[in-house]
A and B are shown apart, each in its own frame.
Chain A
Amino acid sequence: MTKDDALFQFLLRMGDNTLILGHRVSEWCGHSPVLEEDIALANTALDMIGQTQLWLGLAGEVEGNGRSADDLAFLRDAWDFRNVLLTELPNGDFGQTLMRQFLFDAFQSVMLNWLQDSSNTRIAEIAEKASKEVSYHLERSGDTVIGLGDGTEESHAKMQAALDYLWPYVGEMFDGDAVDAVLAKEGIAPDPAELRPEFDAIVGAVLAEATLTVPDSPFVHKGGRDGRMHTEHLGHLLTQMQWLQRAYPGATW
């Protein structure tokens, strides 16, 4: 694998994570429990879509085939997506959505923190920009997980159920492969396993305060970040997200 091949794959992983999760979170628009939460979720989704434009825009440049961020977002099929499975899972209830957001925000904050010192200055610049937005997301998703986890008996039960359901998807974010090895050697991106202790510290502190228990199971669902096996949910999501470009190819605003 050449360095540029690895770089392209890595940028797809970054961009597809924020694209797919951004789309998922946007599904709440107009459906949240209260107006303030609706606005908060829509803003979070918007930040992620904005970050997607930066990551996928750079991915297209690196690939060198003239594909734009929009081409990559709307004209690839499920097997070409490189997002982790966690991001494509259906929203579930509000608590599950916020738990998923918290787990992703915690990972993303540690990842972006590392990438700010990447030897690739384009990546470092995007990380610097996105990092500010993600710190804000993490503060909010963490506070909400604590509020609901250490809330009523019902909210606690729902948050524990969400954590039990989502936890087996956490391991994939730290599961490095040949792509990561090539980039780690060049100082461009980390071996994701290296990020785990810091992630565990952030998540451990919040979940303890939320009175939630991390499931004691080593099982990990994977297959998203290497594109080997997405869940069935991704295809359904793409039918919504890509509908306009599929029905009217090349349509522009």
Chain B
Amino acid sequence: MTQPSVDQVWAWLDEVPDPEIPVISLVDLGIIRDVDWQGDTLCVTVTPTYSGCPATTIINLDIETALREKGIDKLELKRQLSPAWTTDWLTEKGRAKLEEFGIAPPQPAGGPDRCPRCHSANLERISQFGSTPCKASWRCRDCLEPFDYFKCI
């Protein structure tokens, strides 16, 4: 088969959902650092979000499964630690999808700017941590709904 272009591979990877937050793709999450052909081997470079995140191994498995289904048989997954993943790498599309799903996207101020449901700015933090390593727990004082906030790191 002819070698799919790097752009094509990026498009395929953009269809692979994050295992913990399936509304966004791995590309949206900003953890795919590089896609490159080295001879007849496709190298995909991935950076972990949190060093202990249990989703990391599942993510590698999902990438492999998705690309094999597209006919890629020579595949190498590389781990890259530096530069360390930052929430600045979330795509705008990813941020919008997070909010639509009910998770407030990260903000430089260190807390959500508005409730993902009613958009009120009257908020309080419940815990610095949440249901996954990448989230914290907040509550809206107006609609009273608790919600996840994607931590800014």
Contact = CB atoms under 8 A, between A and B. Distances in A.
Nearest to B151: A136
B127 interface: yes
A132 B133 contact: no
B82 A133 contact: no
A124 interface: yes
Given A46-B52, A51-B51, A136 B82 contact: no
Interface in A33-58: 36-37, 39-40, 42-44, 46-51, 53-54
Contacts, number: 67
A51 B128 contact: no
B137 A125 contact: no
B83 A50 contact: no
A131 B50 CA distance: 11
A47 B153 CA distance: 14
Contact of A39 (B51, B84, B127): B127
A246 interface: no
Contacts of B151: 136
Contact of A128 (B83, B126, B127): B83
A31 interface: no
Nearest to B51: A50
Interface in B67-126: 81-85, 126
A38 to B, nearest CB: 9
A39 B134 CA distance: 12
A54 B50 CA distance: 12
A47 B52 contact: yes
B51 A128 contact: no
Contacts of A136: 128, 151, 153
Given A128-B81, A132-B153, A36 B52 contact: no
A140 B81 contact: no
Interface in A111-162: 124-126, 128-133, 136, 139-140
B130 interface: yes
Contacts of A140: 128-129
A50 B82 contact: no
B131 interface: yes
A129 B129 contact: no
B143 interface: no
B82 A139 contact: no
Nearest to B82: A125
A126 B130 CA distance: 24
Contact of A50 (B52, B126, B128): B52
A50 B85 CA distance: 15
B81 A129 contact: yes
Interface in A13-68: 36-37, 39-40, 42-44, 46-51, 53-54
A133 B128 contact: no
Interface of B: 48, 50-54, 81-85, 126-131, 133, 137, 151, 153
Interface of A: 36-37, 39-40, 42-44, 46-51, 53-54, 124-126, 128-133, 136, 139-140
21 contacts: A36-B137, A37-B127, A39-B127, A39-B130, A39-B131, A39-B137, A40-B127, A46-B54, A47-B133, A48-B52, A49-B52, A51-B51, A51-B52, A126-B81, A128-B84, A129-B81, A130-B51, A132-B84, A133-B50, A133-B153, A136-B153
